[in-house]
Homo-oligomer: A and B are copies of this chain.
Amino acid sequence: MNTILKVDAEGQGLVEVTHKVRAAVAATGVRDGLVTVFIRHTSASLLIQENADPAVRRDLAHWLNRLVPEGDPLYTHNEEGPDDMPAHIKGMLTAVSLSIPLMDGQLALGTWQGIWLWEHRHRGGVREIIVNVLGSAAG
């Protein structure tokens, strides 16, 4: 019921993972229940947001970068680079886990919703998310 997905996040930004979550769910055979996505990191996070106009996601990222800039003299944790403490704050303000109902074999996302991994570091890497599926195959 738990599938570990590895997501290649090449740098700061949103990477859509909806299709990967869908595939992990389909592989379980569960038709009705609950899907939970969990990210195992503190400087990357999860987001369900608009999957249509890419300008929405650009604006979300610009807005968050302005709210949580690098180089803020408030930070004392600077050893891991100027983008590390902002990454933790951005993680705090967004999601580490998201739960989505599963109905008749389909994620019950709204028409305009996609699932995104948000890499907050400049230098990305392979990030791990876990897809947990609870429910019944019979529906």
Contact = CB atoms under 8 A, between A and B. Distances in A.
B38 A91 contact: no
Contacts of A135: 1, 134
> How many copies of the chain does the oligomer comprise?
3
For chain A, give the interface size range.
35 or more
Interface string A94-111: 111111111100001111
Main secondary structure of the interface of A (DSSP, over half): mixed
Contacts of A88: 49-50, 56, 59-60
A17 interface: no
22 contacts: A1-B135, A2-B101, A33-B132, A34-B36, A38-B100, A38-B101, A38-B108, A40-B109, A40-B111, A41-B110, A41-B112, A41-B113, A42-B50, A42-B110, A42-B112, A53-B79, A56-B77, A59-B74, A59-B76, A92-B93, A92-B94, A99-B99
